[in-house]
A = this chain, B = another copy of it.
Amino acid sequence: MRMSTAAELGIRGMAYLARNYRNGPVPMATICREQGLPRQYMLKIFAALGRAGYVRTSRGKGGGFVLAHPPADISILNIMEAIEGPLALNFCQSKPSRCRWDSPNCPIQPLWNELQEFTSRKLGEFRLDRVNDVKNPSA
């Protein structure tokens, strides 16, 4: 059970934009250089984040990427779901019909429900304004 690489890199890129929110747009080349991220892949990931309305681009001199909302209005869950689709830790949470266990009486389903609920809540509560709590940023 693990996060997709795309979501992981998307979160790092968005965290970087959050830390630089008051400085205006940041070129992708800068984000990638400072954070050691792969440029072509990041452009695809940020395209998905743009379609979901979490990041905007501006062209020309001084252009680049900027958060489309204040950091406090964007959660880690928002970013993950924009990239991976709705959170579903397993088939039980996304396509319960694929399982032969009798769902209302399945003994394992409560475990998946609890993990899903906790994960969704924690990811939703964590907003990008918290990345400014960092004491000694390396970039």
A→B interface (CB under 8 Å): 1-5, 7-8, 11-12, 15, 34-36, 76, 80, 84, 87-92, 94, 98-102, 105-108, 111, 114-115, 118-119, 122-123, 126, 130-139
Contact = CB atoms under 8 A, between A and B. Distances in A.
Contacts of A118: 115, 118
A89 to B, nearest CB: 6
Given A105-B136, A118-B118, A131-B107, A100 B2 contact: no
Contact of A80 (B1, B94, B123, B126): B1
Number of copies: 2
A102 B133 contact: no
Contacts of A5: 91
B134 A106 contact: yes
A51 B3 CA distance: 26
Nearest to A1: B3
